[in-house]
Amino acid sequence: MSNWIDACATDDIDEEDLIRFDHGSQTFAIYHSPEGTFHATAGLCTHEDVHLCNGLVMGHMIECPKHNGQFDYRTGEAMRAPVCVNLKTYPVKVEGGRVFLDLA
């Protein structure tokens, strides 16, 4: 069962950037890819629970601001040490200039 949540406007996120989105007790990161697509992951690094919203986006990678570990935000795959646990990803849809996350 889907649980689509209106997270932000597409204009809220510059291309090759991200924003933090908090819902309930959870934190998410929403990314705007170079191709214009949107993606969402858990908002905290799996290494030491640092907020990824302060990290650097390069292409399809998010670099954690604390220890420079990297993830591919499209798949959540841990790409560079010290991170070794993948990020959880969430389905995203865009409708009417708004970005929705499926948190089910």
Instruction: State the average pLDDT over residues 22-31.
Output: 97
Backbone angles phi, psi at 63, to 5 degrees: -105, 125
10 Å CB burial of residue 67 (0-12, 13-18, 19+) is middle
The whole-number pLDDT of residue 44 equals 97
Q: DSSP string spanning 1-64?
A: ---EEEEEEGGGS-TTEEEEEEETTEEEEEEE-TTS-EEEEESB-TTT--BGGGSEEETTEEE-
Over the stretch 32-59, which tens digit does the pLDDT of each residue have?
Answer: 999 999 999 999 999 999 999 999 999 9
Q: What is the C-alpha separation between 7 and 3, in angstroms, rounded? A: 12
According to CATH, the topology of domain 4-102 is Rieske Iron-sulfur Protein (2.102.10)
Q: With a cut of 80, say whether residue 1 has pLDDT above it.
A: no
Q: With a cut of 80, say whether residue 67 has pLDDT above it.
A: yes
Q: How confident is the model at residue 70 (pLDDT cuts 50, 70, 90)?
A: very high
Q: What is the average pLDDT value for the chain, to the nearest integer? A: 96
Q: What is the C-alpha separation between 13 and 49, in angstroms, rounded? A: 22
List the domain boundaries for the chain.
Answer: 4-102
CB within 8 A of 2, min separation 6: which ones? 91, 102, 104
The whole-number pLDDT of residue 104 equals 80
Task: Report pTM.
Answer: 0.95
Instruction: State the average pLDDT over residues 76-99.
Output: 97
